[in-house]
Amino acid sequence: MAESSNLKELGEVLHSRLIAGDKLASAEVSETFFPILSKAVERRFHNLPDPHLITVAAEEGFLGYLQQPEKFDPQKSSLIAYLYLAASRNVIDKLRASAETFVELDSTKTEHILDKDAYNPELKLIEEEAAQFAPTSPAMQRMFAVVTDPVDRRLVRLMMDGVRDTKEYAEVMGIQDLSFDDQQAKVKQHKDRIKTALRRNLKDWEPR
């Protein structure tokens, strides 16, 4: 997952990659935005009697984006704001379908939220909260718990960030002076070594 303190900017980059057909983009978008979205929607509708409804609504809102990312216009709002509104609308729709639950909602407030889009203070707050921590994928956290060598960690970070440029790896490994072909060979060798070491390490690992 790319490191960025600006969630709006990160959303734009990942969205562009998703639109362009990048195979990794859906995973990076999911790891970065789905947990934030789920927790934000949960907070917004925390007093509903059926928490499962909120979970499903958040999932469906997010899946809707993955399936039709072209519907999101980065010029109009940030990605997290778009996702939040989509998930919130889903919650409202599901509540409307269930009349007895819907009476517990303050519909005036809900419509207010939905109409304000990206300028809504609540959305601004979500963005600010989310930007306070550097999002790191659970997979990367797990790998960092296993890989302790500083150079290997930097290589793992590059690999898991989807970096393809050999030069970046060569810099970390301190082999910039080698020919490009030799750099490529060394980098591949190190990547394979890391993967092999991880597999060996996993054999001793016990799930919690």
Partner 1 sequence: MQPEATDSSLLARLVQRLANDTTYMAHVFALYKNQEGFDDADLANHLNVFPEQIIRLALCKRPEADAPDFADQIRLLGDFTLIDEALLAHVIRQVDSLTGLSQNPMLAEPAPNTALGFKRFEGTLATARDRDEIPKDSGDTKGSNEGNEK
- Residue 156: name the closest of 191, 185, 184 by CA: 191
Binding of partner 1 by 132 (CB under 8 A): no
Residue 156: CB minimum distance to partner 1, A: 7
Binding of partner 1 by 191 (CB under 8 A): yes
Binding of partner 1 by 91 (CB under 8 A): no
Distance CA 134, CA 4 (A): 7
Residue 108: CB minimum distance to partner 1, A: 24
Distance CA 143, CA 152 (A): 11
Residue 19 DSSP code: H
Binding of partner 1 by 205 (CB under 8 A): yes
Binding of partner 1 by 2 (CB under 8 A): no
Binding of partner 1 by 202 (CB under 8 A): yes
Binding of partner 1 by 125 (CB under 8 A): no
Question: Which one, 116 or 186, has the nearer CB to partner 1?
Answer: 186
Give me the helices (H) in the chain, please. Answer: 7-19, 25-44, 51-67, 79-96, 99-102, 107-116, 121-131, 138-146, 150-160, 166-173, 180-203
Backbone dihedral region of 163: left (phi > 0), alpha (psi from -120 to 50 degrees) or beta?
beta
Distance CA 51, CA 62 (A): 17
Binding of partner 1 by 49 (CB under 8 A): no
Site track for partner 1 across 13-42, x = CB under 8 A: --------xxxxxxx--xx--xx--xx-xx
Residue 75: CB minimum distance to partner 1, A: 25
Distance CA 197, CA 13 (A): 32
Binding of partner 1 by 194 (CB under 8 A): yes
Given the structure tokens 């909260």, which residue do they identify? Answer: 129
Site track for partner 1 across 145-174, x = CB under 8 A: -----------x--xx-x-x----------
Residue 7: CB minimum distance to partner 1, A: 15
